A and B are shown apart, each in its own frame.
Chain A
Amino acid sequence: MSPEAAASAMGPETAWRPSPAAWLSGWRLATFVIAALILTPIGIVFSAFLSPASDVWNHLVATTLPRLLINTFWLVLGVGAGAVLLGVTLAWLTAVCEFPGRRIFSWALLLPLAIPAYVTAFVVVSLFDFTGPVQTWLRSVLPPAWFWFPPVRGRLGVTLVMVLAFYPYVYLLARNAFMSQGRRTLEAAQSLGLNRVQGFFRVTLPMARPWIASGAMLALMETLADFGTVAVFNYDTFTTAIYKAWFGLFSLPAASQLASLLVLIAFVLLLGEQRSRSRRRFAETRPGAPTDRIQLQGLHRWLAFSLAALVLFAGFLLPLGQLLFWAAALVAQEFDERYLEFLWHSLFLSATAALLTGATALMLAYASRLHQDAATRLAVRIATLGYALPGAVLAVGIFIPVLWLDTWLTGLARRLVDLEAGLLLQDTLAAMLIAYVARFLAVGHGPIDSAMHRITRSIDEAARSLGVSGAAMLRRIHIPMLRGGLLTALALVFVDVMKEMPITLMMRPFGWETLAVRIFELTSEGEWERAALPAVTLVAAGLIPIILLLRPTEQDREG
Chain B
Amino acid sequence: MLELYHGEPNGAALKALIVLHEKELPFTSRYLDLLEATPFDDRIEVAYNLEREAPILVHHGQPITETLFLSMYLDDAFPERPLQSGDAVDLWSLLVWGRFCGEVLAPAVGTLGCKAHLVPTLAKRDRSAIEAAVGGLHTPERRQAWLQALNDSFSEEELAESRRKAGVAVNRIEAALADSEWLSGPTFSLADIEVFAYADALPLLVPDIASPTAAPRLDAWLDRVRARPSVAKARAHSRTGAPQTAFVPGPEHSRWG
Are these two chains actual partners, yes or no?
no
Chain B residues proximal to chain A, CB less than 8 Å: none
Chain A residues proximal to chain B, CB less than 8 Å: none
